[in-house]
Amino acid sequence: MNSIDDFITLVRDDLGLSVDDTDVDRPLGEVAGWDSVHLIALLTLLERGTGRSLSLPAALEATTLRGLYDVAVSG
């Protein structure tokens, strides 16, 4: 995963949510279809994809998709 666009594609095609690049800085609660339950599934997919262990506490504190992307790329 090289860019936030790849990340958005993943949220769209692997979680099945209809998001686009206008959603990256929107508070998660306002992203259509987003539910906190998606977080675990997203992290599982990200860890499987990147082969790295990510920080769950950091991910739980993220408030936007960009925040989650930052956790994903920084580990």
Partner 1 sequence: MTAVTVPTAVTGPAAASAADPADELLALHRAGRLAAAYPTLKSLLARLPEEDSVRAAQLLSRVGPDEVLHEHPGLPALTVAVTGHGTLSALVPALALEGARHGIVLRTVVSDFDSYVFDLTDPDSALYAAAPDLVLCLLDPVIVMDELPTPWRPEDVEAVLAEKTALLDALTARFAGSGSGTLVLNTMPLPRVLASQLIDHRSRARLGAVWREANARLLRLTETHPELVVLDLDPLAAEGVAVTDPRLSVYAKAHLSSAMLSRYAREAGHLARIVAGQTKKCLAVDLDQTLWGGVLGDDGADGIEVAESPRGEAFRAFQKVLKQLASQGVLLAAVSKNDLAPVREVVAGHPGMTLREADFVRFAVNWRPKHENLKELAEDLNLAVESVVFVDDSPYECGLVRHELPGVSVVPLDEEPARHVEKLLRDGWFDVRELTVEDRARPALYRVEAERKDFLHSFDSLQDYLRELGVRVRIGPVEEREMPRTAQLTLRTNQFNLTTRRLQAAEVKELAAGPDTRVLAVHAGDRFGENGLVGVVFTRREGATVHIDNFLLSCRVFARGIEQTALAAVLRQARADGAREVLATYRASAKNAKVRDFYPQNGFVPVTDADGELVFRHDLASVPPVPDHVQLTESCEGNTP
Q: Which residues are at the interface with partner 1 (CB under 8 A)?
A: 1-2, 6, 9-10, 13-17, 33, 35-37, 39-41, 44-46, 48-50, 56-57, 60
Phi and psi angles of residue 9, each rounded to the nearest 5 degrees, phi first: -60, -40
Structure tokens at 30: 């306002």
In the complex with partner 1, which residue's Cβ is closer, 15 or 28?
15
CB of residue 41 vs partner 1: minimum separation in angstroms? 6
In the complex with partner 1, which residue's Cβ is closer, 18 or 27?
18
CB of residue 23 vs partner 1: minimum separation in angstroms? 16
